[in-house]
Amino acid sequence: MEQNLPKFESVFSIDCVIFGFENGELKILLIERNEEPFKDWKALPGYIVKQDESLDDAAERILYELTGLRGLHMEQFHTFGDVDRHPQGRVITVAYYALLRLNGQKELKPLSAIAKTAFWHPVNELPKLGFDHSEIFKTGFNKIRRRLGYQPIAFELLPEKFTLTQLQSLYEAILNKKLDKRNFRKKMLSYGFLKELDEKQKGVSYRAAKLYKFDRRKYSKIFQNELNLDS
């Protein structure tokens, strides 16, 4: 730090709100803390940014160290900076979210001693979280809901090939309300960015559903005008 800037004793952290979807249930990634403050509490994966890394890089690194997950596309959604939000001093935190396909394969394994464990927890009936993490989660969840209306985020939560029923139940989980099956399908298909595959669901004990794929290229073609708000 050079001369001109005043000293400011502060810490910068990142907290991550990571959503996953499995068995028709929306889940969030939590850790159990192994360090004071809030030792043994449940909390969002989060830690301190290093001097020479960008926020986005820090988010990726921290998530990896605390949960073993990496390569997610994370986006910041809010910065929390109340003076007393951290019991040990001034800590300003930038909250990020990401969405992740859960296929039971991905192992959660904290590399750092800060987290005892990392685990998925249904977004309903969340336990009390350390710090102001309950509020951070709530803010993040609301952002996601909003974004669901104008960005193709649902597909990040589903496997590459999915059925329309799975897609619908994801929407229902995020929006927390029932949708009409026929209208939902009609609308989704009318957008034109879902590609019907020649394949069907396997391993179910009833009529197998057709599988679909999200066609990102078609999506961007269709919505390039809408998103292109830069004048």
Partner DNA sequence: ATAATATAGTGTAGTTTCTACACACTATAT
Partner DNA sequence: ATATAGTGTGTAGAAACTACACTATATTAT
- Give the footprint of a second copy on residues 89-128 (CB under 8 A): 89-92, 94
Q: What are phi and psi for residue 14, nearest 5 degrees? A: -120, 140
- Give the footprint of DNA on residues 83-142 (CB under 7 A): none
**Per-position x/- string for 8-47, each x denoting binding to a second copy as judged by CB under 8 A, each - no binding:** xxxxx-----------------------x-----------
Question: Would you count residue 161 as binding DNA (CB under 7 A)?
Answer: no
Question: Would you count residue 146 as binding a second copy (CB under 8 A)?
Answer: yes
Tokens of 26: 């929306």
The single-letter code of the amino acid at 182 is R
Question: Would you count residue 148 as binding DNA (CB under 7 A)?
Answer: no
**Per-position b or e across 21-40, b if 16+ CB within 10 A of its CB:** beeeebbbbbbbbeeeebee
Pairing label, strands 161-162, 210-214: antiparallel
Question: Would you count residue 145 as binding DNA (CB under 7 A)?
Answer: no
Q: What are phi and psi for residue 166, nearest 5 degrees? A: -65, -45
**Per-position x/- string for 69-88, each x denoting binding to a second copy as judged by CB under 8 A, each - no binding:** -------x-xx-xxx----x
Tokens of 42: 């449940």
Q: Which stretch binds DNA (CB under 7 A): 70-78, 106-114, 120-128, 199-207?
A: 199-207
